[in-house]
Structure formats: structure tokens, C-alpha cells
Amino acid sequence: MSIEVVNITKSYKSFTALKNVNLHIPEGELVALLGPSGSGKTTLLRLIAGLEQPQEGSILFHGEDNTNRDVRERQVGFVFQHYALFRHMNIFDNIAFGLSVRSRKTRPSKEEISEKVHSLLKLVQLEGLAHRYPSQLSGGQRQRVALARALAVEPKFLLLDEPFGALDTKVRQELRRWLRHLHGKLGLTILFVTHDQEEAMELADQVVVMNEGRVEQVGSPEEIYHHPANPFVYSFLGRVNLFHGRIQNGKIKLGEAEFETDWKDKAVEAPAVGYMRPHDVEISLRPPEGKSARSVQAEINHISLLGPIVRLDLKRLDTDEVFEAEMSRQRFMELNVEEESIVYVTLHNVSIYVDSQPLQTHRPSLVPLQASV
Amino acid sequence: MRHLTEPAYIRWTLIIVALLFLGLFLILPLVAVFTEAFRQGAEVFVASITEEETLSAVKLTLLVAAISVPLNVTFGIAAAWAIAKFSFPGKNVLLTLIDLPFAVSPVIAGLIFVLLFGSQGVAAPLLAAWDLQIIFAVPGIMLATTFVTFPFVARELIPVMEAQGRDEEEAAVSLGASGWKTFLRVTLPNVKWGLLYGVILCNARAMGEFGAVSVVSGHIRGMTNTLPLHVEILYNEYQFAAAFAVATLLAALALVTLILKSLIEWKTERQAKLDEEQHYDVTGERAG
């Protein structure tokens, strides 16, 4: 079942949680809503479930307007961040709840319910725990019970609020793999909220990046990582170095480094910001041949040995800007540098955003540019 | 942790002071009630509590409790459910109103009903027209008792319900449960110990209430006398043994209440511990 969110605005007394949000979630996809705390991702999820009502806009399931439908009629499987298992019921009764509260006419027989619950327990690999209580289970087990409970009512799609946020790293990784597997098996549309970009990239077919009540970008993990629509998306998806400079005569100058661009309007002179990932910083002991326009000199301030990778804190000699570089341990051994060494740094894959305020365009105020040599 | 402990003499002084206070104000009176009750022998004791007027007082007390407790349970659950699970304008006003009977002296509470329903009261013409009597009759006693015991159940339930949040209710609703079924199968079972605790306190107060009931009852023997009023009448008539014998009934009620109360406290504490364990690995990391 596809989900369509049209022009949704939701505000509370003192702040606006969502501003004119539009979103299309195709049938059968595993979609992540990714954003920092307070970006409105959980609110959006609750609006889709019907646990909250929007001020404006509508929500369509498979083209059918569901905006004014009650939660209980929407047939949505919702899994809460803290699971919200019924603490006074055992696991069997928890999973059977959705079926056993149906009116007599639509309620399956006791045998059918029992069969269903046991097949779900098998699906979530918790056979034999039917008579335990939630307080007797581990976090990961509770999460799977919550999933089984939501699946028992055969929902149109699944909504998961920070599904693995409360679990330790190892269990989290296991459950991620398991959810991916489950999605492949059931073919259900699944929408989940997370603040962990790694989780979103690893699990989702599509990632919806949200910030301050807006959707910043929608795309596959590959797309959003390699072609971030704006600086927010760029910096939210991983560690980032920032270089400030200007665009002049169609060229970007970041300190002594210079980049050619496809910027048409040569007359415009504006501030520009270059973003780059620490692993794209190339370090050498001698000035590189040929492409010196992208090279600058820098001093190593600090070296952090992080197991397989090594992170260097550097300071550019031309602009005094501080930045990070990451490299493999092997490369680091080859370089044989230490703190306070002066090295040559080549800047690869710089994404440059020009502050386009003077051009009178509205959002996005920063225009992405593909830099080339 | 040794440095955090007070010296032995301070500890012992405090313990002795506490025990002396407890003995003087709680144990001694209780012992006195029972010794006075049996001073003229078990025969007099049995005769006093099986006397017709005493029995009628017991019946009336039970009747009053049997009506006002269910009323306040219904109201208390409704109010707590509304306050803890929903947000609406006027919520704080409602909270304050619930506390009102605790803030007002019981005598004033009784007087309110006399002013409303007495022979000179606001509603007097209406009552006369329908030939109803409230003051100096059983309905007045029920009204006064219900008013005084009004906050017990709600006050017990509100913090319990608030602590449990709305998650489980939302889960139930998203699974298709109606509001009523959510309440019966999720909310109520989760607060059952808190509710029982509230009921027991409410019941103890309903049976033991003196001030408000005294104002509205009229002290008609065999008709509008509850147990506490009966004790007073007997005492004023110098029937000390009988007064104390009847008082033992109330004391027994208090003891039973205390035992039930500690049983429930023990139960809820265990429940809280289990819940805490449940939340142990859940509270690790949180983000909205």
C-alpha cells in the first residue's frame, strides 16, 4: 500500500512541527525518515498512523483519503520507541490483543488466534516464550514481540518509531539484518524513524532526510550520500570539513586552492562554502604534480589512532582553517608523519555551495555546484 | 559509606524518640480502647456491640460506605483517566477542585449541605414540594460522606496513570481497540493496585467520618446514627464500657485497613521493581 502525504502542516502551541510536508512512499519499500531530534520525523509518523491530527493537508493511503479516519480504522501497524507492550499480559496475549478485541462478528475463533500467534512467534523467533511477561524479556526480544503484535492485525503497512534506538549496538545490528530479511519476506511497506544515518543508509531503499519540520531530500542512500541537495544533508550524513571562500569569474577560490565550475554567470561574485568528507583528503609529503591548483599546505595538529583508520586534525597554512583527514592505518604507516609535521593536502570531491541570496532565489539558498579541475 | 553514618548515640536517640512518640500517640490509645472495652468483662462487651442501636449504627455505616465508595470510585477513575491521559483546558482547575474536600474542614462540608438542603436552605421549597428530606436523614449523611471522601481514589490514581504514560493506550487503539475496550483491558489492569489502595482509604474514611456527618445527621438513635456518632452518644451518656466496645469496631476497621494497605504497598513495590527492570535497557539512549 502506498502512502501519500500532501501539504501537511502540524503545529503545537509554541512551535510548528511540520511545515508543508509532501511525501510519496511507494508500495513495498523500506523507507527511513532520518533527521536530528526535533526535526518532526516522529510527528510525521504519528500523523500517518492517525495518532495526531494535522492542521492542514491530507494523508492518502493508496489514493484514498485517510486524513479524518480514526487510528483504529486505518489498519496501520505501529511499533513504539519503547515498545509499549501491555505489561500485565503475557507475550501470547500481547500478540493476540489486536485480534481478540475485534467485535464478535469479525473476531477469529480461539483456535485461529492461537494458530496466528504461534506462527508470528515463529516468525520473530520467540517460540517457547508465549507465557513469559514483557518484564522477563530482553530489549531485543521485546522489540520483536512489539513487531509481532503489530503484524497480527495484518496491517496495510508498518510504521516503526526509532525501532532500535534503545538497544545496544550488537543487538541493534542483529535486529537490522532481521528487519531487512523480514521486509524481503513479507513485501510490506515499512516506514521507520531514525536519527542514526548509518541505520538509515544500511536498511532503507529510500531515505527521507528531515530538518526543522521540512523534508530536505528524498533519495536512495547512494543518491543522498553522493549528491546531497544542500549543506544540511551533506553534514548530517557523516563527518564533514568546511572551507570558506568566494566565487569569482566563474572560479571558486578556497584560500589558495582554486576550482573550475560550470557556473554561468561570471559577473557574480558571492561567498561560497566547500564541503568535503575527511576520507577524501589526500595527504602527501611532496607537492603533487600537475593538479597543484587543488593542493594546499597544512600542519598536523593531532593524530588519533582509531583502530583500522587514523584521523588527523590539520590546520591549513594559507587560511588557518582547521579540518580533519581520515586514512587507513597502512597509508598512515607509509607516510610516517607525526604531530607538527607540514604536509601537502589535495582536496578531492569538494561539494561547493554558493550563497545565492543576491540572486533573489528562495530555497535552497545555497546552490550545489559540481567542482572540476 | 561509613562516613555517611551518624554516630551511634544519635541514631539511638532518634530511634527511641520515634518509638516513644509512636507508643504514646498510636499504640497506647489503641491498647486503652481495648482495655476499656473489656473493663466490665466480655459479657458487657458482647452485649454492647449486639445491642439494637449499635447494630443499626453498623448497618447505616455499611450502607453509607456501600453507596459513597462506589460513587467515588466511578468519579475518581473518570477524573484520573481524563486528567492523566488527555490534555484539555481547565485541567488544573479540575485538579484543584478534586482537592477541595481535603482543604475544607469537615464541619464546613456538613454546613454546606445544611445551607443547601436544610429547612431554611436554598433548595428547601423544592424539597418540600416533593416531600423529600435530606438533612437529618440518610441522604444527607451519604452526601456529606461522599463529599469528604471525594479525593481519595482520584488522588491515588492520577500519579499512577501519569507515570504510565499514554503509550500502551495508543498501542491498543492502533491495534483497533475501542476506547472502552482500551480502558477495560489496558488502563484498568495497569492501575488495579493503585485503585484498590484508593478504595481502601476511601472506605476507611467513609466509615470513620465524624465531623461532616455529625452536622447533617441530627443524631436520631436507630435511624441516623453512624458508628462514630454512636460512640460519641454513648460516651456522653457515661456508658464508657459500651462506648469503647463500639469503638473497638472502628479500631478493628483501622487495623484491617492498615494491613491491607501494607499488603498493597508491598505488591505495588514489587510491580514497580519489575517495571523498572523492564525499562532498564530501554532508557539507555533517547532521541525524538
> How would residue B280 be classed by pLDDT, with cut points 50, 70 and 90?
very low
Prior bond of A108 cis (ω within 30°) = no
pLDDT of A315 above 90: yes
pLDDT of A290 above 80: no
Chain A touched by B237 (CB under 8 Å): no
**What average pLDDT is seen over chain A?**
86
CB contact under 8 A, B281 and A139: yes
Nearest to B288 among A42, A83, A167 (CB): A42
| Best mutation target, A53, A82, A120, to test chain B (most B CBs within 10 A) | A82
pTM of the model: 0.78
pLDDT of B4 above 90: no
Condensed to tens digits (0 to 9), the pLDDT of residues A270-285 reads 788 888 889 888 888 8
Taking the CA of residue A94 and the nearest CA in chain B, the distance in Å comes to: 10
Nearest to B177 among A38, A101, A165 (CB): A101
Condensed to tens digits (0 to 9), the pLDDT of residues B215-246 reads 998 888 878 889 999 999 999 998 888 899 99
Q: Looking at residue A356, what is its pLDDT?
A: 56
Condensed to tens digits (0 to 9), the pLDDT of residues A348-369 reads 888 888 765 544 333 333 445 5
Name the more confident of A206 and B124.
A206
Rounded percentage of chain A residues whose pLDDT exceeds 90: 45
Chain A touched by B183 (CB under 8 Å): no
pLDDT of A78 above 90: yes
3-class SS of residue A362:
coil
Chain A touched by B270 (CB under 8 Å): no
pLDDT of A205 above 90: yes
pLDDT of A370 above 60: no
Give the residue-averaged pLDDT of A94-123: 93
Taking the CA of residue A194 and the nearest CA in chain B, the distance in Å comes to: 9
Cα–Cα–Cα angle for A208, A209, A212, nearest 5°?
A: 125
Q: Are B264 and B203 in contact (CB under 8 A)?
A: no
Residue of B nearest to A45 (CA): B288
* Element containing residue A5 per DSSP (H, E): strand A3-11
CATH T-level assignment (fold) for domain A3-233? Rossmann fold (3.40.50)
DSSP state of A108: P
Rounded percentage of chain B residues whose pLDDT exceeds 70: 93
Condensed to tens digits (0 to 9), the pLDDT of residues B172-209 reads 999 999 989 999 999 999 998 889 889 999 999 999 99
Q: Looking at residue A360, what is its pLDDT?
A: 39
CB contact under 8 A, B278 and A135: yes
- Under CATH, which number does the domain A241-372 receive? 2.40.50.100
**Half-sphere exposure of residue A244, counting CA atoms within 13 Å on the CB side?**
5
| Best mutation target, A88, A102, A158, A212, to test chain B (most B CBs within 10 A) | A88
DSSP letters, A196-245, are: -HHHHHHH-SEEEEEETTEEEEEE-HHHHHHS-SSHHHHHHTS--EEEEE
Q: Looking at residue B165, what is its pLDDT?
A: 86
pLDDT of B40 above 90: no
pLDDT of B37 above 80: yes
In chain A, what are the domain boundaries?
Answer: 3-233, 241-372
Condensed to tens digits (0 to 9), the pLDDT of residues B95-135 reads 999 999 989 999 998 998 999 888 888 888 888 888 888 88
pLDDT of B79 above 80: yes
How far out from the chain centre does Cα B253 lie? 12
Residue of A nearest to B278 (CA): A135
Q: Are A11 and A38 in contact (CB under 8 A)?
A: no
CB contact under 8 A, B288 and A135: no
Q: Looking at residue B149, what is its pLDDT?
A: 93
Taking the CA of residue A103 and the nearest CA in chain B, the distance in Å comes to: 9
Name the more confident of A208 and B257.
A208
